[in-house]
Amino acid sequence: MNRKAFLLGFFSIGAQILIIRELIAAFHGDELFIGTALFGWLIAVALGAWLWELILGRIKATALFVIAIAILPVDLILIRFSPLLFVDSILQTVPFTKAALISIVLSIPVGFISGALFPAITHEGHRPAKSVSRVYLFEGFGAFIGGLVVTALVGKVFDNLGMAIAISIVTLIYSMIGNGRKSIAVASIALAVLLIAVFFYTPSLSRYTETKKYFPFELVDSFETPYGHQAILKNQEVTSLITDNAIEGSSPDIQTAENLMIPALAFKPDAENVLIIGRAEFGAGEIARKFPNMKVTAIDPREGLNHRLDRALEKSPRVIRINDDPVGYLLSHDTYTPYDIIIIAPSEPDNILYSRYFTGRFLSLCCKVLAPDGLLYIPTMYDTDRYVSPETAQLLSVIYKTLHHWFRCIDIWPGNTTGFLASGADLFELYNEQIFDRIDSLPYQAEYLNRYYLEDQLDSFRRERIWNAIDTTVQANAIEKPILMPYHAVYSSLTLGSDESIMRFLFANKFVLWIVP
């Protein structure tokens, strides 16, 4: 009984982690699915325990373990393909209302069996009424060990599917053997052989499922990191990095690369030391090649991406990679050569990992390593080309308010990717004609952000419109209160049908928000 209780905790916590990881990877890295998945899991656990007592009492714990380990890998594969129930391409965004339903439903099968296992194991004790505390105790030990093992190995040794098969094999073998030393020794040897086989053969199974999932794109590579799921796809001549089923970067993509670099270089054309928070393989490195004295440092914690991207894309000699968390790096970095330009170019601020780059705490770290006349540039995904919607204005206002506390001078460039430029020096007191002349004189000749394009984008009417939309009374984004995340959720929901209806209803009837929790 003690061993099975331990295995229950080991398997259950491992399964929860893997299901949540797969859900986040399937639905664009959205951390809201941690809550919805755990809701489905806990409801299923309660239901499983109740129904075992009521009608399933004849099913023994060993049989339930067999059912659970058979369900888990299938459940992960179903989650992997589940976005295709609602969208035509795996790279399209699924409305949260529908994705939340999937996360609840697909958390139920394994959770239900996990719930049934608790009373099943308890009743295997000699005195069931007094076995509950013992089962709780050993289940807790197992959950602790299971959490450590899965967290340490997934994304480093095994991918999600391989880890699911590995913990299933461990659970199956040790739930079925006897207590003799010989049985345990033989089982341990068999387990080691099977885990080696899982290590070598499950990547092929995972790659097969990924090939089917991303069809008709050509799958160049697919792998897990401790931070999420990555894939490298090719569509004709374009190579794209996919992070949690969203396109993080593509090459060649000249327009995106110029939006990343040219606005900052217009005010700091002589910049030599440039820091990018994010990846630099998708255009920034190519532009830097044209500047003989420029060095680009890119900070990203995903070291495993480096050699894989090097095989898919040409490596730029101007780019220095720092494999570290940006916050940790800036906290510990004591530079003798301050950065002339810092570019914050992560993904959408829809989770705490990326939202923290738009906080006063992170901006203070940037100020520490920025030259006195240096420039901070934030290219956003928010479109102010033809119209500034109330939702867009709200997001831009929060970013502006957050920047304003740390930088004396701020400029905003309207366009498809609205950009914030901030500095402690008077860099932005230039006429448009001076900006165009500087861009024309750069060693890199812009194809998109050239004089003719910017004459339209930076005219006085567009600039005045975006400044009029900025509300300086809003709160700044902070790590303690990341208000940028819910505002971004509202912004994203406007293109997602059912999400828009719910968001508009909630914000029109705010008293309902007291009921929702």
Q: What is the C-alpha separation between 315 and 441, in angstroms, rounded?
A: 26
pLDDT at 507 over 80: no
Q: What would the two tokens of residue 201 be? A: 């053969």
3 state DSSP class of 226: coil
Compute the radius of gyration of the chain from its Cα atoms: 26
- State how far the alpha carbon of 63 is from the alpha carbons of 41, 70, 318, 325, in Å: 20, 11, 59, 44
pLDDT band (50, 70, 90) for residue 130: low
Which DSSP category does 336 fall into? Answer: S
Under 8 Å between Cβ of 242 and 227: no
pLDDT at 129 over 60: no
Banded model confidence at residue 125, pLDDT cuts 50, 70, 90: low
Segment of 62-71, 169-178, 309-318, 330-339 carrying the highest mean pLDDT? 62-71
Query: 488: helix, coil or strand?
Result: helix
Q: How far apart are CA 458 and CA 52, in angstroms?
A: 68
Q: What is the mean pLDDT of residues 122-137?
A: 72
From 7-21, 429-443, 500-514, the region with the lowest mean pLDDT: 500-514
Query: What does the pLDDT look like over 348-401, one tens digit per residue?
Result: 777 777 888 888 888 888 888 898 889 999 998 888 888 888 888 888 898 999
Q: Taking a C-beta distance cutoff of 8 angstroms, is the pair 15, 72 a contact?
A: yes
Of 517 and 287, more confident: 287
Per-range mean pLDDT, top range of 180-189, 203-212, 330-339, 352-361: 203-212
Site of tokens 């001076």 = 434
Picking from 38, 74, 59, the residue whose alpha carbon sits closest to that of residue 113 is 59
**Dihedral pair phi/psi, residue 75, rounded to 5°:** -60, -45
Q: What average pLDDT does range 454-458 have in this prediction? A: 85
Determine the pLDDT at residue 77. 93
- The per-residue pLDDT for range 35-83, each reduced to its tens digit, is 889 999 999 999 999 998 888 777 888 889 899 999 999 999 999 999 8
Mean pLDDT for all residues in the chain: 85
pLDDT band at 103 (very low <50, low <70, confident <90, very high): very high
Closest CA to 359 of 397, 325, 422, 403: 403
* DSSP letters spanning 174-188: HHHS-SSHHHHHHHH
Overall average pLDDT of the 440-449 stretch: 87
What letter represents residue 185's amino acid?
A
The per-residue pLDDT for 166 is 92
Beta strands 273-277 and 339-344 are parallel
pTM of the model: 0.81
Percent of the chain with pLDDT over 70: 93
* Res 517 pLDDT > 90: no
pLDDT score recorded for residue 499: 67
What's the rounded mean pLDDT across residues 437-460?
86
What is the per-residue pLDDT for 145?
93
Task: Categorize the per-residue pLDDT at 84 as very low, low, confident or very high, splitting at 50, 70 and 90.
Answer: confident
pLDDT digits (tens, 9 = 90+) for 263-281: 999 999 888 899 998 888 8
Identify which has the larger pLDDT, 481 or 506: 481
- Phi/psi at 435 (5° precision): -65, -45
Q: Looking at residue 227, what is its pLDDT?
A: 75
Query: What is the model's pLDDT at position 13?
Result: 93
Helices and strands (H, E) in the chain, number of each type = 20, 11
Average pLDDT over residues 435-463: 87
Q: How far apart are the first and last CA of the chain?
A: 38
